[in-house]
A and B are shown apart, each in its own frame.
Chain A
């Protein structure tokens, strides 16, 4: 285990060290201490390493991650795992706005609540939130899965493309073109796998599925507000 004191050694040195790891590295386990809400911790990684962050993080922790597993033992600021390509990011606490924004792949697990716009413009990532999500979550979600074990705020899935949304609790309101859809056996299988990967003990049968009505797919003046 490599231990890195962020306060003493600085962000640039941290990211340079993590970004220089290759898939053959022996330094596969890293611990970051004194994170103290710093921004851009462990961004742009591209190696199968495990990074544990002790404490909470600021903006964009794990941004554009590839391959790495990043575990935040605290809460995460805005844009955690933004544009992630692959790998896993786990947040033990809550996540602020835009969690998993535009992420193309990988898995984002939030064990607390996520704020507004969770999964905005998601492009293939799987996001599992143990608690609630705020308003406008999965706005313009293109693909991937958003699992919400708690409740969802206003305008869930507004202007949704092909992302799948699973919510166990209440949905305050659905956004434009987002509708409830039939939960078929294949969706229960997908959800079972997502919940296992997200370390949630919720039962797939307790969820409802939401998706795009696909009425906004081609411009129609009658759909303009």
Chain B
């Protein structure tokens, strides 16, 4: 009998969008090990982001500035509300808090060098202040974190601003863990814990529990530092309207708002990908809180979480931020995930661009490690130069856009300069959908 089906077209294999290969691989990994995945970085999934916004540029109704010649100022002053000594930055791009422990000493030094060359600030992290970063950072923000590892009044007095960290975008409501393999003698000594053990960073502060307490805590910090230092309050992008309002009520000079694309040294993947909100959904709400309290621009807003270039800077500022902070982008500028180390990434079971097991301390680029041999690969002077170059490019790009929109200061960028490319972005930002004067939820409209 003749086989009729022989040579006939066949149904092609179709991968499930729900049970994709990466999803199935994670199920198999979990089934084999019984432990959740821990990694560094921020959310990797595609989220509504600054790419979903566009600038309109000048037209008959807007007058542009000459692209290279006319002045477009970039300075920003932070801490003008209560601090006797606000800090002035040449550019509105700052370096976010990253800990010594998660990063090597030379990497922290490079961040200080690059930021100082560019005229901006860098920030300590969980683990205290190192001499490398203080010595190489012309403006250093000292974080007050729940763990208080390395916290001491001398460093509090020699910083340029204080940042009380309530949450971060990668893991709002979560603490942290620096695994034992990165706890060298020096890291252990700074944190007052035995070498080689996992170091838990608590999820909430040990000596205050709510906004009324926070107000008193901030007052204490001001009293210890003679009311000189600007005090920032950093929040994760969860309830940005209320958290911004509460931070301001508690006495913050500056609110730092971090979206879920913002990185962490290490936490559970499920936390990174499923808790928090994209930064573009948060900025407008924080600005609304500032405006409702009549304190927009008097209390400054720094936003972070996935800032990659000058366009992102300009968009964040147009939405009402005073400055941005970068973490992941700064690390990439230093050399993190560089393809030059591809064979070594492959040996670790990954590839350049995807390496995120920073907590294991085996970073081929020598940045997120305490291994003396790997650390030697990283040159803090070259790293600082690269970071400075990157910050310069970001600023030039943002200026280019601002001039095209007719602004002589980056802070003059405004929401009216933007349109949304997607319904989601329009709904989240209240910036009208391109080609319309409408966004979902606009008062007086229906759809």
Contact = CB atoms under 8 A, between A and B. Distances in A.
With most chain B CB atoms within 10 A of its CB, the pick from A43, A85, A159 is A43
A27 interface: no
Contact of B217 (A46, A60, A142, A219): A60
Contact of B148 (A39, A58, A117, A121): A121
A134 to B, nearest CB: 14
Interface string B199-227: 01010001110000100110110011111
A160 B6 CA distance: 70
Nearest to B225: A44
B135 interface: no
A83 B208 contact: no
A97 B34 CA distance: 38
B207 A101 contact: yes
Report whether over half of chain B's contact residues are helix, strand or loop; otherwise say mixed.
Answer: loop
A79 B208 contact: yes
B193 interface: yes
A219 B37 CA distance: 13
Nearest to A80: B207
A209 interface: no
Interface stretch (A11-19, A145-153, A182-190, A194-202): A11-19
Contact of A60 (B34, B35, B207): B207
Nearest to A161: B193
B67 interface: no
Contact of B220 (A40, A46, A140, A217): A40
A11 B208 CA distance: 21
Interface in A126-153: 139-140, 142-143
B197 interface: yes
B151 A44 contact: no
Contacts of A16: 226
B23 interface: no
A218 B207 contact: no
Given A60-B220, A142-B193, A219-B177, A78 B198 contact: no
B153 A64 contact: yes
A123 interface: yes
Interface in B99-134: none
A218 B198 contact: yes
A16 B177 CA distance: 38
Contacts of B223: 11-12, 15, 40, 43-44
Contacts of B34: 221
B192 A85 contact: no
A46 B153 contact: yes
A138 to B, nearest CB: 11
B194 interface: yes
B180 A104 contact: no
A64 B224 contact: yes
Nearest to B38: A219
A62 to B, nearest CB: 11
Interface string B219-245: 110011111000000000000000000
A40 B213 CA distance: 12
A123 B157 CA distance: 20
B216 A58 contact: yes
Nearest to A221: B35
A219 B38 CA distance: 11
Interface in B239-264: none
A63 interface: yes
Contacts of A154: none
Given A64-B152, A140-B200, A217-B198, A98 B206 contact: yes
B219 A40 contact: yes
The 9 closest A-B CB pairs, nearest first, are A44-B224, A64-B153, A217-B197, A102-B148, A79-B207, A101-B207, A40-B220, A98-B207, A60-B220
11 contacts: A39-B220, A44-B153, A44-B157, A79-B207, A98-B206, A121-B148, A121-B206, A143-B192, A159-B200, A219-B177, A221-B36
Given A12-B227, A44-B157, 12 more contacts: A40-B220, A59-B220, A60-B216, A64-B152, A79-B208, A85-B153, A98-B206, A98-B207, A101-B206, A102-B207, A121-B202, A162-B193
